Amino acid sequence: MDFGPFLLLALMEGTVQAAVLALTAVGLSLVFGVMRVVNVAHGEFFMLGAVAAWFVTFHLPGPAWAVFLAALVIAPLAVAGVAAVADRLVLKRLHYEPEAVIVATIGLSYMLQQAALSFYGPDARPVAAPFTLRLQLPWFGYSGYKIAVVAAAVLLLLAVWLVMTRSRAGLVMRATQMDGETARAFGIDTGRVYAGVFALGAGLAAVAAVLIVPIQQAHYLMGHDPLLLSFIVVIIGGLGSLRGTLVAAVLIGLSDGVISVFFSPTLAKIIATLAVALVLVFRPQGLFGARA
Amino acid sequence: MPYLVCSEGFHVASGMLNRWTLQPGITDVRAQVSSMAPWVLANLGKKVTMVFPDYAFGHDHRDYFSAAVAAGGGEVIAQIAIPPTETSFTRYLPQIPRDTEVLYHVMVGPAVLTFVKELGEFYGSGARPQIFGFIDSLEAVDTATPGLEFLEGTHFWEGHCRVKQADASEHETFYRTAVGVDDGGASVSDARDVSTYAHMFSVWETLFVIKAGMEAAGYQGPADRQKFVEAVEAMTTMPAGREHPQGDKIFNGKTHQVFGHQFISRVEGGKLMRVHATSIEETMYPDAVDYTAMSF
């Protein structure tokens, strides 16, 4: 293939990856920003979203677009529910101690993964895309659904930004993030905010997974890569900074797309991990993070 | 302890294992690919690009299909190895050279359906090479799944035809009923549960080889394990029957490997219809080992 179309394909693949990565990583970043919780189970919430989407689309009758829209609503809500329960039952009782929370979420990730293996099974199962549209470019064909994923991710990210900056819920979350004690003094139930944020973070991962599952299929081990890439993005962007997370997601997603097409996917991962190491050495707070 | 393999790997007949290991239920990859290469070159094209998983199973395909293509006057112009953990494949597809006449794919693992779908999106309605795949890329997947329409007219290797063919033997019908698979290759209790029909006969046939071997050895208990291996080594022909519903076979006691017919099917109306069957002789190659000369 000639260089031009080759580069175009690489950029398109990278954009899809960046969009999904941004959604997933914003969830992780939000949880860390507000709660100071490093959620190692984030990748499993992603997996749970995909598996839930399979259950919804498999059991609901109706045309593909309708059951997919249902999954897009039901799966994230279900995953958010699981996350809220986990927050109440586990994280709250550990008083959000950073080290304890890391160990607890590692445990939680194994529980979720093994639960998926027990109740869903080891198979990779497909979810039908809501529509099948193929873009035929002069040099290659491309999935119209992948373009829709990018559009949906942009809309969802815009919604998250509006909620965080314009709504009362966002104000309460930002207040809790800045100074939990003062927020409590103003009558904010920070316990509820924490449960809500943890649920929202997991829900965002689940939405990303529902969007990706017609492309990738639901599998109980699918949470590893999103977790690794989300951490890379969040560390490079600056823990807790939504703007930094977005910029880093675009950077990592596009470079991953281009490097994997022109060289190899393994090299792309090596470079991303190297970037994390460099950021940690020379700018530990990340590109957009505030100094602790 | 006797160890009976249903892996298709060439590692048994290549001599990498020991006398306790036998593969009496399924032909190995080397035999499969070398017996089909002449048909592919004669009917589909001579410039081949291969896409395969980057580990031993894929390497068997790479090594022996490339050799068979070269021997048949064709040329493998590109080999695209894909890491087994990969979940997205579009990024590899531009590596397929434009002058490819036949695209050969054999993918396994949880992401196989993604691979085939992305291949379809990539070529779209534009010009595409002939496509010859191993059914491994689509085992347990319904060929009528949305997004797989582009497979119409493409070819697949099958160890055993998933769709019941018009000339199916009574043994084939008996086996299909016994394992609960309908004429289209899905479970009789759930049409969405598609079987791994092209491979699963090997387990059934291996069990009957064990039965025959134990009977021939007069097997009484663990002390007779060696006698059991020797009894299997003494086997030569295996006639088609309820014990061997896939067809007749020839067992090579020296290399511990069985040889059988291979099938090439074309997707017609979303169904796999057989267009070619190899002879057993076409699958055979010179012995690489004599396990019977090894001590237990």
Q: What is the DSSP annotation of B66-127?
A: HHHHHHTT-EEEEEEEE-TT----GGGGGGS-TT-SEEEE---STTHHHHHHHHHHHHTTS-
Query: What pLDDT is attached to residue A9?
Result: 87
Residues A13, B90: C-beta atoms closer than 8 Å: yes
Query: What pLDDT is attached to residue B290?
Result: 95
Helices (H), chain A: 3-35, 42-59, 64-86, 98-119, 144-166, 168-178, 180-185, 190-216, 224-237, 242-262, 265-282
Query: What pLDDT is attached to residue A159?
Result: 94
Examine the pLDDT at A20 and tell me if it is beyond 90. yes
Query: What pLDDT is attached to residue B111?
Result: 78
The string of pLDDT tens digits covering residues A153-174 is 999 999 999 999 999 999 999 8
Mean pLDDT on B110-138: 87
Name residues 133-172 of chain B within 8 A of A (Cβ).
140-141, 145-147
% of chain A residues with pLDDT over 70: 99
Mean pLDDT on A79-86: 96
Strands B47-53 and A134-136 turn out to be unpaired
Residue A142, C-beta contacts closer than 8 angstroms, at least 6 positions apart: A9, A12, A134, A135, B121, B122, B124
* Chain A contact for B93 (CB, 8 A cutoff): yes
Query: What pLDDT is attached to residue A131?
Result: 87
Mean pLDDT on B222-239: 96
User: Which of B80, B82, B86, B88 has the highest number of chain A CBs within 10 A, making it the mutation to test binding with A?
Assistant: B88
Do residues A128 and A138 touch, judged by C-beta distance below 8 A?
Answer: no
The string of pLDDT tens digits covering residues A187-219 is 889 889 999 999 999 999 999 999 999 988 899
Helices (H), chain B: 29-43, 56-71, 112-123, 170-178, 197-217, 225-233, 280-283
Examine the pLDDT at A58 and tell me if it is beyond 60. yes
Q: Which residues of B touch A260 (CB under 8 A)?
A: 91
Residues A217, B90: C-beta atoms closer than 8 Å: no
Of A214-228, A271-285, B228-242, where does the model show the most confidence?
B228-242
* Chain B contact for A23 (CB, 8 A cutoff): no
Amino acid, single-letter form, for residue B92: Y
Query: What pLDDT is attached to residue A292?
Result: 47
Query: What pLDDT is attached to residue B197?
Result: 95
**How far is the C-alpha of A78 from the C-alpha of A88, rounded, in Å?**
16
Residue A114, C-beta contacts closer than 8 angstroms, at least 6 positions apart: none
% of chain B residues with pLDDT over 90: 79
| Location of structure tokens 């991303």 | A272
**Which two three-digit tokens encode residue A261?**
């097409």
Lowest mean pLDDT among A16-20, A125-129, A233-237, B251-255: A125-129
Residues B121, A134: C-beta atoms closer than 8 Å: yes
**Cβ neighbours, 10 Å, residue B186:** 19
- Among candidates B105, B93, B266, which has minimal Cα distance to A143? B93
Examine the pLDDT at B146 and tell me if it is beyond 80. no
Examine the pLDDT at A1 and tell me if it is beyond 70. no
Q: Which residues of A touch B146 (CB under 8 A)?
A: 64, 128-129, 132
Residue B195, C-beta contacts closer than 8 angstroms, at least 6 positions apart: B140, B162, B179, B181, B185, B186, B187
Nearest residue in A to B95, CA atom: A1
Q: Which residues of B touch A1 (CB under 8 A)?
A: 94, 98
